Copies of this chain bind each other. A is one copy, B any other.
């Protein structure tokens, strides 16, 4: 198990766009009735299944396994709730951290977020000029919630 500590922000402008390479993500969720989420994802030509446990503060236990991309695509097509979340993720190194900028498409087009993963809760981080409002912990921006309430419906 890994514990995720991350902060999430909205992105302002296009200043980030030339700073890193993008990978296409397609992900969906197996409908759950509790606080645990089960995500199926393709990232480029790889497939993953991820179980995320209950968030406490900004920590969330996460179990991720690589699986055949053909299995991931079958589960996305046949077992996951609609709409799927489609986005391009750009990895942007800035000093000691890597920003992951997600540019959403489809029903979530127009939304651009940036996440940074921290070593511990007290690590300070320098915000580049293209980083806007912090939305860490705002459930509307949880990717699992962008299925039931996509950004274009807000």
Contacts and interface: CB of A to CB of B under 8 A. Distances in A.
B53 A63 contact: no
Q: How many copies does the complex hold?
A: 2
A97 interface: no
Contacts of A65: 49, 65, 67
A53 to B, nearest CB: 5
A75 B30 CA distance: 17
A125 interface: no
A78 interface: yes
A31 interface: yes
A38 interface: yes
Given A33-B31, A33-B32, A74-B1, A79 B53 contact: yes
Interface string A31-73: 1111010100000000001010110000001010101000100
